[in-house]
Copies of this chain bind each other. A is one copy, B any other.
């Protein structure tokens, strides 16, 4: 069995507060999964009864609307935990989690997390801080959705994707999102997103390399995003 000690999630997430003994306990209770790009880790309404450690890959947390649009609430990447909120709230998942790139995840049962929570103050504080971070981000997103135009939000999102996920050797963004997904993040129609990307391309702020996106003028993008 793969030990959790060296795992990136153990290094980056709330789990970093666990002591050796707890990590052994963790390693004994976890289940590993491979998730193919496009597949779901869990769906909205599902009772997960635990959290998922993201060892590798990128996922999206999203909610399907009545008109068939998939609003993306958050992207998650390796090192992060998934499903903390619904586990703590004792509620079915409010959002669906799907792989955007092939993922390696581990499932940790709720009992384990609650045990750590009750016996390790630093862990509970870390967990809480991570949820607080999510809350702050969500509130700021909410404000941006109202106070910024689609163009501003697109510029902001491109910069954010670049910061958070980095770039490939050819300087294109490492996260490979479809235009539809990108539209789902900034909260607009797919066509509007495509149109604006095309505008940015013409203005040489970005370059469209097939379906990939390369940031060419970060300064100008920042200015647009404000």
Which residues of chain B have C-beta atoms less than 8 A from A145's C-beta?
A: 142, 145-146, 187
Decide if A139 touches B138 in the complex (CB within 8 Å).
Answer: yes
CB distance from A185 to the nearest CB of B (A): 10
State the CA gap A135–B140 with chains docked (Å).
12
The DSSP consensus for interface residues of chain A is: helix
Which residues of chain B have C-beta atoms less than 8 A from A124's C-beta?
A: 117, 124, 128
Q: Does A118 contact B (CB under 8 A)?
A: yes
| Chain A 61-75 per-residue mask, 1 if CB under 8 angstroms from chain B, else 0 | 001011101010100
Decide if B147 touches A71 in the complex (CB within 8 Å).
Answer: yes
State the CA gap A117–B128 with chains docked (Å).
11
Query: In the complex, which of the residues B91, B121, B142 contacts A138, with contact meaning CB atoms closer than 8 Å?
Result: B142
Query: In the complex, which of the residues B65, B121, B140, B188 contacts A94, with contact meaning CB atoms closer than 8 Å?
Result: B140
Decide if A69 touches B139 in the complex (CB within 8 Å).
Answer: no
Q: Does A226 contact B (CB under 8 A)?
A: yes
Q: Does A132 contact B (CB under 8 A)?
A: yes
Q: Does A164 contact B (CB under 8 A)?
A: no
Number of copies: 2
Interface residues of A, CB < 8 Å — how many?
39
State the CA gap A129–B89 with chains docked (Å).
6
Which residues of chain B have C-beta atoms less than 8 A from A118's C-beta?
A: 121
Q: Does A127 contact B (CB under 8 A)?
A: yes
Q: Does A1 contact B (CB under 8 A)?
A: no
Which residues of chain B have C-beta atoms less than 8 A from A188's C-beta?
A: 146
Decide if A128 touches B129 in the complex (CB within 8 Å).
Answer: no
Q: Does A85 contact B (CB under 8 A)?
A: yes
Which residues of chain B have C-beta atoms less than 8 A from A127's C-beta?
A: 128
Q: Does A136 contact B (CB under 8 A)?
A: yes
Query: Closest 10 A-B residue pairs measured CB to CB?
Result: A146-B187, A138-B138, A65-B147, A89-B132, A135-B135, A145-B145, A85-B132, A71-B143, A142-B142, A88-B132
9 A-B pairs whose Cβ atoms sit less than 8 Å apart in the complex: A65-B147, A95-B139, A124-B124, A131-B131, A134-B135, A138-B139, A142-B142, A145-B145, A146-B187
